[in-house]
């Protein structure tokens, strides 16, 4: 009996495609999640050489029929999703139906699987997406996956893998996340035959303590809160146990690990003043939310999740962490009683929650001077704010246009808010975007999204090119007249010793003693940036801090940085396309240099200024 069916193309497209397998740890995550989805009670993970040689996952779950054992390797083959609506009711970890197909295309995969009621099991071996072995065998219930020689057919990708300890660190992270989400399942982890974890099924506290490490049990403070929108449970590390390294910080929603800097902020705010600077609180927090109110699909590897009620959850988190710390006499109770406006009064709990309200007089225009305060209810700012926070429709561009016009007028008349208005004079209003030469401003439900155009462009180009670069040379554009670049002897040596990589990047050159003649440059690089780009590449090549194994990454980083310097956006469509492309990148919050690409000015922050 088969339970697997193919997803129609349009749904497959709705599920944003992404590179599923970046490193051995990605395989570990996918295989372990499949075992959980198959209702396993015990999951064993064995890896060799940080997963480069072997990743084996043994489960005692449902197993597969002989027919499904073949089907599961096809792209978009899943038993977990039938229609797009199911996306909003998801209880399983997987649903894209692309993990096994992806793994099978870049590794040698062997699988043994048997359903509980079947007499025999099926043994499948796949290489390069074609089935090499398909036979009936005797085996026990459940599934054993073996992934060998990862990236055997993508040597560049294999070469990009980091040291064994780093790659194993990633594997361990994934293992811990899955194990923390499922205390009722038994897990083990072995690396090169050595036991790293042996976790018995049990209560949550036991699981958290065994992952947080020795003596951590007495450092744990429980946290618990129930509301109609979210249930929270979990453990906090006592403030005096805060660590210098950001390690033990886990959020789960509906048993799925996720990362969220906004919620993280709520926790650190609750710990404010209790831990010294440069220390991080430990926490392991589980949220339970109606699956229809979250979107797990915005991130290809599903570690970022969009919450419909994020502001409410933020305030509940803040107050319940404070309460938990207060209860254990860690946080002075007095302080706890002086609740901030963000906190939710206890009478609120278990009743229908109301979103934190911001009291704004919609007719009040902060940018109007006295002379035009009266009767100014039709102005852009209030309309924009009203539409955003309290109305149904998005503010129109003219709303924002008016908002800034008023701002300019009033600044010139009384100079009171002049600093805020500088630089906006030349901005253009396009649909729902305000386009400034460096930033795009776009109203969102929770406030005003500000996107740094150059950094966004840098991230997009980098993500695109690094993916290409490891498989093939980047496109190069022939110059009509070769550029000549005078360099020192040392620079020439540096350039020549990396010539192959630089050529792969798109620089085609000839050489004289101290001159580089550049005939071809990377297509992405504007001609007037070539000189600067070469200078910065040479500087990078001299930088002793750059690990030789990492040079290629740095070169692509530098090239794309130079290529994005001149980025300009003029039209709404361009702004839209840029933002969409940015969100397609797995990492879309930080530029390749680790700096923030976007920032949301929250309505609550705006309101607190008035
Ligand atoms: P997804 O998990 O998104 O459905 P995968 O490519 O990871 O996609 O797996 C494809 C299908 O193979 C799953 O939907 C499931 O039916 C089956 N499968 C994969 N791993 C297991 C397993 N360990 N036990 C039972 N069935 C599995
Ligand atoms: Mg899966």
Most confident of 20-29, 58-67, 383-392, 462-471: 58-67
Q: Which residue has the higher pLDDT, 352 or 142?
A: 142
- 28 CB contacts (<8 Å, ≥6 apart)? 45, 47, 51, 55, 57, 171, 174, 175
pLDDT reading at 291 higher than 90: no
Q: Cα–Cα distance between 196 and 192 in angstroms, integer?
A: 10
Query: Which pLDDT does position 481 carry in this prediction?
Result: 83
Please say whether the beta carbons of 278 and 364 come within 8 A: no
Ligand 1 centroid to 70 CA: how many Å?
Answer: 11
The reply to whether ligand 1 has any atom less than 6 angstroms from the CB of 38 is: yes
Q: Which of 8-17, 320-329, 395-404, 492-501 has the lowest mean pLDDT?
A: 8-17
- To which H or E segment does residue 347 belong? none
Q: Candidates 78, 144, 145, 297: which one to mutate for ligand 1, based on the most atoms within 8 Å of Cβ? A: 78
Q: Which residue has the higher pLDDT, 288 or 162?
A: 288
Domain that holds residue 181: 9-199
* Residue 496 is assigned to a structural domain of this protein: yes
pLDDT band for position 560 (50/70/90)?
very high
Query: Which pLDDT does position 87 carry in this prediction?
Result: 62
Please say whether the beta carbons of 231 and 277 come within 8 A: no
* Residue 354 is assigned to a structural domain of this protein: no
**How large is the average pLDDT for residues 143-147?**
98
Ligand 1 centroid to 33 CA: how many Å?
Answer: 9
CATH value at residue 289 = 3.30.230.10
Cross-sheet strand order for the sheet of 476-486: 476-486, 515-522, 508-511
Q: Candidates 65, 72, 140, 300: which one to mutate for ligand 1, based on the most atoms within 8 Å of Cβ? A: 72
Query: Which pLDDT does position 18 carry in this prediction?
Result: 33
**How large is the average pLDDT for residues 89-118?**
84
Q: Cα–Cα distance between 312 and 316 in angstroms, integer?
A: 6
- For the entire predicted model, the pTM comes to 0.56
The reply to whether ligand 1 has any atom less than 6 angstroms from the CB of 60 is: no
DSSP output for 352-400? ---PPP----TT--TT--GGGTTT-TTSHHHHHHIIIIISSSPPPHHHH
Ligand 1 atom at shortest distance from the alpha carbon of 34: 20
The reply to whether ligand 1 has any atom less than 6 angstroms from the CB of 100 is: yes
Residue of the nearest CA to atom 27 in ligand 1? 34
If you count them, how many residues does the chain have?
610
Pair 117, 78 in one domain: yes
Pair 514, 572 in one domain: yes
Ligand 1 centroid to 72 CA: how many Å?
Answer: 6
Collapsed DSSP state (helix, strand, coil) of residue 39? coil
pLDDT reading at 155 higher than 80: no
**How large is the average pLDDT for residues 434-460?**
90
Q: Which of 155-164, 256-265, 402-411, 505-514 has the lowest mean pLDDT?
A: 402-411
Pair 189, 211 in one domain: no
Q: Cα–Cα distance between 180 and 211 in angstroms, integer?
A: 8
The reply to whether ligand 1 has any atom less than 6 angstroms from the CB of 124 is: no
Ligand 2 centroid to 90 CA: how many Å?
Answer: 13
Please say whether the beta carbons of 159 and 153 come within 8 A: no
The reply to whether ligand 1 has any atom less than 6 angstroms from the CB of 143 is: yes
The reply to whether ligand 1 has any atom less than 6 angstroms from the CB of 95 is: yes
Q: Which of 143, 167, 199 is the last residue of a domain?
A: 199
Query: Which pLDDT does position 450 carry in this prediction?
Result: 92
**How large is the average pLDDT for residues 406-428?**
35
Pair 183, 211 in one domain: no
Give residue for tokens 């999740």.
305
Residue 138's Cβ-count burial label (10 Å; 0-12, 13-18, 19+) is exposed
Query: Which pLDDT does position 479 carry in this prediction?
Result: 87
Residue of the nearest CA to atom 7 in ligand 1? 99
CATH value at residue 100 = 3.30.565.10
Q: Cα–Cα distance between 112 and 146 in angstroms, integer?
A: 9
Pair 572, 427 in one domain: yes
Pair 239, 370 in one domain: no
Query: Which pLDDT does position 7 carry in this prediction?
Result: 56
Q: Cα–Cα distance between 600 and 602 in angstroms, integer?
A: 6
- Count the Cβ atoms, other than its own, within 10 Å of residue 522: 24
pLDDT band for position 547 (50/70/90)?
low
- Give the total number of structural domains in the chain: 4
What are 80's two structure tokens? 């977990």
The reply to whether ligand 1 has any atom less than 6 angstroms from the CB of 109 is: no
CA distances 329 to 43, 236, 323, Å, are: 39, 14, 10
Pair 25, 167 in one domain: yes
Q: Candidates 20, 94, 102: which one to mutate for ligand 1, based on the most atoms within 8 Å of Cβ? A: 94
* Residue 351 is assigned to a structural domain of this protein: no
Give residue for tokens 């539409």.
387
Pair 52, 186 in one domain: yes
CATH value at residue 521 = 3.30.1370.100
- At 174-220, the pLDDT tens digits run 999 999 999 999 999 999 999 999 999 999 999 999 998 877 888 89
* Residue 505 is assigned to a structural domain of this protein: yes
Pair 149, 267 in one domain: no
The pLDDT mean for the chain works out to 78
Residue 595: name the closest of 451, 479, 490, 499 by CA: 451
Q: Cα–Cα distance between 497 and 551 in angstroms, integer?
A: 12
Q: Which of 172, 199, 226 is the last residue of a domain?
A: 199
* Residue 409 is assigned to a structural domain of this protein: no
Q: Which residues pair with 387 in a beta bridge?
A: none
**Hey, what's the torsion of the CAs at 225, 228, 230, 234, to 10 degrees?**
20
* Residue 346 is assigned to a structural domain of this protein: no
Pair 439, 581 in one domain: yes
Query: Which pLDDT does position 4 carry in this prediction?
Result: 79
**How large is the average pLDDT for residues 30-53?**
96
Please say whether the beta carbons of 315 and 344 come within 8 A: yes
- At 310-354, the pLDDT tens digits run 888 998 999 899 888 877 654 433 333 333 333 333 333 344 444
Pair 541, 447 in one domain: yes
Ligand 2 centroid to 33 CA: how many Å?
Answer: 6
* Residue 32 is assigned to a structural domain of this protein: yes
- Count the Cβ atoms, other than its own, within 10 Å of residue 355: 11
* Residue 267 is assigned to a structural domain of this protein: yes
Collapsed DSSP state (helix, strand, coil) of residue 416? coil
Pair 390, 429 in one domain: no
Q: Cα–Cα distance between 505 and 507 in angstroms, integer?
A: 6
């Amino acid at each position: 009996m088969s339970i697997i069916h193919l997803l129609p193309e349009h749904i497959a497209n709705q599920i944003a495609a992404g590179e599923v397998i970046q490193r051995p740890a990605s395989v570990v995550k996918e295989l372990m999640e499949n075992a959980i989805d198959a209702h396993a009670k015990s999951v064993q993970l064995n890896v060799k050489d940080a997963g480069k040689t072997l990743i084996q996952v043994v489960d005692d779950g449902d197993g597969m029929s002989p027919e499904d054992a073949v089907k599961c390797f096809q792209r978009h083959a899943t038993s977990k999703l039938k229609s797009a609506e199911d996306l909003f009711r998801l209880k399983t970890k997987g649903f894209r139906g692309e993990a096994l197909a992806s793994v099978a295309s870049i590794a040698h995969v062997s699988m043994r699987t048997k359903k509980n009621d079947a007499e025999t099991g099926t043994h499948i071996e796949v290489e390069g997406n074609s089935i090499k072995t398909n036979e009936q065998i005797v085996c026990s219930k459940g599934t054993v996956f073996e992934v060998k020689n990862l990236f055997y057919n993508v040597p560049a990708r294999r070469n990009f893998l980091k040291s064994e300890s780093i790659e194993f660190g990633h594997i361990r992270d994934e293992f811990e996340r899955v194990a923390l989400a499922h205390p009722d399942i038994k897990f083990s982890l072995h690396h090169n035959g050595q036991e790293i974890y042996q976790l018995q099924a049990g209560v949550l506290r036991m699981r958290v303590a065994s992952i947080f490490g020795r003596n951590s049990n007495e450092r744990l403070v429980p946290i618990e809160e129930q509301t109609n929108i979210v249930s929270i449970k979990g453990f906090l590390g006592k403030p005096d146990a805060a660590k210098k390294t950001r390690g033990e910080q886990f959020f789960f929603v509906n048993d799925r690990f996720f990362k969220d800097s906004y919620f993280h902020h709520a926790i650190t705010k609750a710990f404010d003043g209790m831990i010294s600077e440069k220390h991080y609180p430990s926490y392991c927090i589980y949220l339970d939310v109606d699956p229809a109110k979250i979107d797990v699909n915005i991130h290809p590897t599903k570690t970022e999740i969009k919450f419909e009620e994020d502001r409410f959850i933020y305030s509940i988190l803040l107050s319940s962490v404070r309460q938990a710390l207060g209860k254990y006499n860690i946080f002075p109770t007095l302080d706890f009683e002086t609740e901030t406006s963000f906190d939710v009064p206890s009478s609120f709990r278990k009743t229908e929650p109301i979103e934190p309200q911001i009291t704004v007089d919609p007719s009040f225009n902060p940018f109007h001077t006295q002379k035009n305060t009266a009767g100014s209810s039709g102005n852009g700012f209030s309309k924009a704010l009203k539409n955003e926070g309290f109305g149904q429709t998005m503010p129109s561009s003219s709303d924002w246009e008016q908002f800034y016009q008023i701002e300019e007028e009033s600044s010139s008349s009384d100079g009171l808010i002049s600093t805020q208005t500088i630089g906006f004079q030349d901005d253009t209003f396009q649909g729902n975007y305000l386009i400034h030469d460096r930033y795009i401003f776009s109203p969102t439900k929770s406030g005003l999204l500000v996107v740094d155009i150059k950094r966004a462009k840098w991230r997009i180009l980098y993500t695109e090119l690094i993916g290409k670069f490891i498989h093939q040379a980047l496109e190069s554009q022939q110059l009509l007249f070769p550029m000549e670049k005078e360099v020192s002897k040392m620079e020439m040596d540096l350039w020549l010793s990396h010539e192959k990589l630089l050529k792969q990047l798109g620089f085609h050159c000839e050489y004289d003693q101290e001159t580089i003649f550049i005939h071809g440059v990377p297509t992405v690089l504007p001609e007037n940036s070539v000189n600067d780009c070469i200078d910065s590449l040479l500087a990078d090549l001299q930088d002793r801090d750059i690990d030789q194994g990492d040079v290629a990454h740095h070169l692509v980083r530098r090239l794309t940085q130079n290529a994005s310097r001149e980025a300009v956006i003029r039209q709404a469509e361009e702004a839209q396309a840029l933002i969409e492309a940015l969100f397609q990148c797995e990492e879309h919050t930080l530029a390749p240099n680790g700096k923030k690409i976007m920032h949301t000015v929250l309505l609550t922050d705006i309101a607190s200024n008035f």
